[in-house]
């Protein structure tokens, strides 16, 4: 019996998130169904992140045990042959038996896609948040710089388990603008529920000069007891990469 590490990509539009739920289409249940079609008899796969309804992934990681007698590439191809068009296995490799997709991870990288547009753009809006008017990039750059480090993010999200810590360490946070698309990228050891989407919404408010970059630092010092209510749409968020010890 071998233990496998699999990297998935999926369009989250038609999924009610990653985690299996009764009578709901989820990524986990879809992958498990494909595995069963090729002889897997396991109970559950493990995932690196429980992406929400409508959130996409290009680098989600799952792990499972499987008595597979062919190559890892054959397993990749067999799974892809049994998966729907909105999910794909990018790679398969055998992992150490101690590997755990979630608990072995050292960092996760998310990207959030936006674009500036006065009117709808049907070719972009499935995967990005349309914002108008354009916001000031220098202001969101300052806000993002204030996120780096270890902080209490309780104003921007809730922990996976009730009563859990809301302290997270952000290793990098930055904005990129190629004139047609705007991307926020954030790398951290882990994230609270809805944390990235609330941070994006808050920074857009800063870019539109409805708030100031200094407010980020105030909130991260625990001077705000109320959670920020702004929540960027799920469609712009992508789990880009999960990192593990080398």
- Domains in the chain, please, with CATH? 2-95 (3.30.70.580), 107-243 (3.30.70.660)
User: And the tokens for 227?
Assistant: 């959670």
What's the rounded mean pLDDT across residues 178-188? Answer: 93
pTM: 0.95
Determine what percent of the chain is predicted with pLDDT higher than 90. Answer: 88
* Helix, strand or coil, per DSSP, at residue 160: coil
Catalytic residue (one of 52, 77, 141, 152):
52
Segment 42-66, tens digit of pLDDT: 999 999 999 999 999 999 999 999 9
pLDDT at 225: 65
Give, in order, the Cα–Cα distances in Å from 88 to each of 27, 81, 186, 201, 236: 11, 9, 24, 30, 19
pLDDT at 179: 77
pLDDT at 22: 87
* Helix, strand or coil, per DSSP, at residue 97: coil
pLDDT at 94: 97
C-beta separation of 171 from 245 below 8 A: no
Q: Which of 152, 236, 142 is nearest to 197 (CA)?
A: 236
Q: d(Cα 77, Cα 72) in Å, to the nearest integer?
A: 9
pLDDT at 224: 59
Segment 67-89, tens digit of pLDDT: 999 999 999 999 999 999 999 99
pLDDT at 223: 57
Q: What does the mean pLDDT of the chain come to?
A: 95
Q: Residues near 146 by Cβ (< 8 Å), separated by ≥ 6?
A: 213, 214, 216, 217, 220
Q: Residues near 221 by Cβ (< 8 Å), separated by ≥ 6?
A: 151, 152
What's the rounded mean pLDDT across residues 35-41? Answer: 97
Q: Which of 237, 145, 149, 136 is nearest to 193 (CA)?
A: 237
Alpha helices in 150-238 (DSSP H): 195-207, 214-220
pLDDT at 218: 87
pLDDT at 161: 84
Place of tokens 């500036």: 116
Q: Residues near 12 by Cβ (< 8 Å), separated by ≥ 6?
A: 27, 51, 52, 53, 54, 55, 56, 57, 234, 235
Give the DSSP H or E segment for 91. strand 87-95
Say whether 86 is catalytic: no
Q: d(Cα 98, Cα 86) in Å, to the nearest integer?
A: 30
């Amino acid at each position: 019996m071998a233990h496998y590490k699999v990297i998935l990509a999926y369009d989250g539009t038609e999924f009610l998130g990653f985690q299996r739920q009764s009578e709901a289409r989820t990524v986990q249940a879809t992958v498990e169904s494909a595995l069963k079609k090729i002889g897997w008899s396991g109970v559950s796969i493990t995932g690196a992140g429980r992406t929400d309804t409508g959130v996409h992934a290009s680098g989600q990681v799952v792990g499972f045990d499987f008595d597979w007698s062919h190559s890892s590439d054959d397993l990749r191809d067999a799974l892809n042959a049994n998966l729907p068009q909105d999910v794909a296995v990018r790679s398969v490799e055998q992992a150490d038996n101690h590997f755990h997709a979630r608990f072995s991870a050292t960092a996760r990288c998310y990207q959030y896609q936006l674009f500036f547009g006065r009117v709808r753009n049907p070719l972009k809006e499935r995967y990005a948040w349309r914002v108008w008017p354009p916001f000031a990039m220098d202001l969101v750059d300052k806000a993002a710089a204030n996120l780096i480090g270890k902080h209490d993010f309780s104003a921007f999200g809730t922990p996976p388990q009730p009563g859990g810590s809301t302290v997270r360490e952000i290793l990098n946070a930055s904005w990129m603008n190629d004139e047609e698309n705007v991307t926020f990228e954030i790398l951290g050891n882990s994230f609270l529920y809805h944390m990235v989407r609330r941070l994006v919404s808050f920074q857009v408010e800063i870019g539109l000069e409805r708030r100031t970059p200094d407010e980020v630092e105030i909130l991260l010092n625990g001077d705000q007891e109320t959670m920020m209510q702004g929540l960027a749409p799920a469609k712009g968020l992508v789990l880009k990469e999960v990192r593990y010890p080398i």
